[in-house]
Chain A
Amino acid sequence: MTPHFGLPEFGFLLRGLQWTMLLTVVAFVGGCTAGLAVALLRTCGHKGVEWITRIYIGIFQGTPLLLQLFVVYYGLALTGLKLDAFVAVAIGFTVNASAFLGEIWRGAIQAVPRGQTEAAMALGLHYSSRMRDIVLPQAIRISLPATIGYLVQLIKGTSLAAIVGFIELARAGQIVSNQTFQPLLVFGVVGAMYFILCWPLSWWGSRMEARLALAGQR
């Protein structure tokens, strides 16, 4: 007898949702840290370093996330480290996030008026203080809509962990669907869960974008 989609199945999906959220948080926090480094290197003024980071970003933007995951997942396996599936996919998403956030913040750093940097230099501020106190606070404000947009992409992207076998929301959906033979209901519920997670963020991001656009008109 096949089980119907009931509370236990729904609970299983909810546990999948938890893993999706955890994966997103870990990749986002890791990606923010590494992405900041990428953005700073990308704008450091040294031609060679800027060129290398540019290629780094280009590779991640020009290849499918799924293949990036495969390469990291199987590449890590080759190193002989016995990594948990969660750790392996988390590393994959973190590296991807570092490139995309690095590019978003590169744009934001360059969007801060040049006069701000010049004024800071005239005041005798060092690079670190110039970035930390003058440029980055303004850049973060500019980059917020795009950063939130990427966060939504990341949440949706974590579903690809399902293909390498990690049980998050999408994989949980596949399992429940195979057990209950109610694929439409199950994937409908799974889709709704993703929607509940992503839609408020999208809405927040586009509202902030509209506000920033208004502020820019003045």
Chain B
Amino acid sequence: MGYTLDFSVVWHAMPALLWGCVGTLGLALAGMTLAMTIGVAGVAARDSKAAWLRAIVIGFVEIVRNTPFLVQIFFLFFALPLIGLKLNPTATAIIALGVNGGAYAIEIIRGGVQSIHKGQVEAGYALGLHKGQVFRFIVLKPALRAIYPSLTGQFIMLTLTSSICSAVSAYELTSVAQRIESDTFRSFEVYFFVTFLYLAISWLLMLGFAVVSHRVFSYPTR
């Protein structure tokens, strides 16, 4: 075979690829924000007194966790316009990531809330804190500390999952790579390099999260 690898195409496309990285991070960040919102609302609904509400949340979590993201994003891509949301591919991708991540966030946040001992909440009320204060200081902050590792892991997962959003041509790294590939036909070189860009992104995120965790959550608990 006379094929020689030529990575110069990657070098020429560098600015576009770096903007793709920005797109990917923006997509993941927006998706995660939506996911957290769904997560908190979902946890409240999951433990509500209304049985139908609990059933909806459980059903939502099971359906999202047991179907592929690709099928979810295709479904939303066609379903959202029907309910009057005519969005561009990137906005659709954010909603898909938010819905997908939301299901996992519900489980993670719920685990965190359950890690708070009931006696602590009772002690809070005994000290005269009202409901909002108990939630904020006694449930939320320690729970956040407990779920921080899984939540940040989830964010990195979401960042990697966002590559699938290229299937609806949302603006992110993989779709930028696909465009460069179709311009240059250097499939292997482009995807090989982009894979390493993703690796760099996830390693930097991991490093950043570790630093934050060290700063914010390293207070003694007992």
Contact = CB atoms under 8 A, between A and B. Distances in A.
Interface stretch (A100-108, A114-122, A134-142, A158-166): A158-166
A71 B62 contact: no
B68 A170 contact: yes
Nearest to B71: A191
A33 B198 CA distance: 27
A188 B174 CA distance: 26
A190 B74 CA distance: 11
B70 A184 contact: no
Contacts of B1: 78-80
Given A195-B66, A199-B66, A62 B75 contact: no
Nearest to A61: B202
A187 B66 contact: no
B163 interface: yes
A74 interface: yes
Interface residues of A, number: 39
B27 to A, nearest CB: 12
A64 interface: yes
Contacts of B78: 177, 183-184, 187
A188 B71 CA distance: 9
Contact of B202 (A62, A156, A159): A62
Interface string B133-168: 000000000000000000000001000110110110
B188 A78 contact: yes
Contacts of B75: 183-184, 187-188, 191
Given A68-B195, A184-B79, A194 B71 contact: yes
A202 B62 CA distance: 9
A5 interface: no
A190 B71 contact: yes
Contact of A173 (B74, B166, B206): B74
A190 B164 CA distance: 17
Given A71-B192, A74-B187, A66 B163 contact: yes
Nearest to B70: A159
A64 B195 CA distance: 7
A30 interface: no
A195 B63 contact: yes
Interface of B: 1, 3, 62-63, 65-72, 74-75, 77-79, 82, 156, 160-161, 163-164, 166-167, 174, 187-188, 191-192, 194-196, 198-199, 202-203, 206
Interface of A: 59, 61-68, 70-71, 74-75, 77-80, 152, 156-157, 159-160, 162-163, 170, 173-174, 177, 183-184, 187-188, 190-191, 194-195, 198-199, 202
Top 6 nearest A-B pairs by Cβ distance?
A: A159-B68, A64-B163, A198-B66, A183-B78, A70-B191, A156-B68
